[in-house]
Amino acid sequence: MKRLVINLDRSPDRLAHMASEFARIGIGFERIAGIDAQDHPNLVLQPQHAIHAIRPLAGSEIACLHSHRACWTIIAQDDAPYGAVFEDDMVFSGRAGALLGDTSWVPAGADVVKLETFFSRTVIQRRRAPAGHGFSTVRLRKGHPGAGGYLLSRQMARAFLEATAQVNIAVDDLIFNPAMSAGRNIYQLVPALCAQDQFVGDRLPSLLDQERDAARTASGLMARQSKPTAVRISREAGRTVRWIADFCRLRRQIVVPFGPIEATD
């Protein structure tokens, strides 16, 4: 299985970080040169998916998609049934190497396995399947932001390439948004095998977040508006109804934990 790391040419510090992380877990990787929005200002002129009608994608977000597409192309053409894709600001659990060196633990028929946690609440199926080394796989039943670390099947890589051949979409929307992933077998690794450094080390701020926020500020979309009381009450009531529905369908809400950074027996 290939382990691909997206890295911009202008970010050698992040490449050094990932080299250190992979060395720590005892496994190798392949660098994929990321598409840099600074070098491609016309990216924002490309067609975008309809879900971005209210807030169009920034150039950095479109560049991010094309960087992931470069990885999908490699996975789609490889002999291995799965490949792993990582962005260059990830921190690994100390036990990550055992899973990244073998795919026998991947559930049969899985299209995608999300390896990271974004520390945001999501919904998973209650039933778990052991993946070994203290990890389990569960069906992901709600959106879980981030595309910093995931396992992708060869067939799904081909499907993603076809889906984005003529239109751009945020990577994590394409992969993990329920509205876009209907019919796919999407799994979550619990605890997560990796997380962005901004959450656990705070040494590498997210370049994508910085550039996206700058674009939103320039367009006036960062201005927050207070929600009316009736809207807030309705939203809380909706959350309660969804919690009851999830419970009845053998699902549960969870903030996916991160596996220990230090290796344990």
pLDDT band (50, 70, 90) for residue 203: confident
Q: Give the pLDDT confidence score for residue 265 in this predicted structure.
A: 56
Compute the distance between CA of residue 189 and CA of residue 187 in angstroms, rounded to an integer: 7
Fill in the amino acid letter for 90.
M
Ranking 17-31, 61-75, 147-161, 194-208 by mean pLDDT, the lowest is: 194-208
What does residue 250 show for φ and ψ, rounded to 5 degrees?
Answer: 60, 40
Percent of the chain with pLDDT over 70: 82
Q: Any idea which architecture 2-255 has in CATH?
A: Alpha-Beta Complex (3.90)
Distances (CA, A) of 171 to 5, 75, 117: 15, 16, 15
Ranking 71-85, 167-181, 203-217 by mean pLDDT, the lowest is: 203-217
Q: Give the pLDDT confidence score for residue 218 in this predicted structure.
A: 54
Query: Structure pTM?
Result: 0.85
Domains in the chain: boundaries: 2-255
Rg (CA), the chain: 19
Q: Give the pLDDT confidence score for residue 210 in this predicted structure.
A: 62
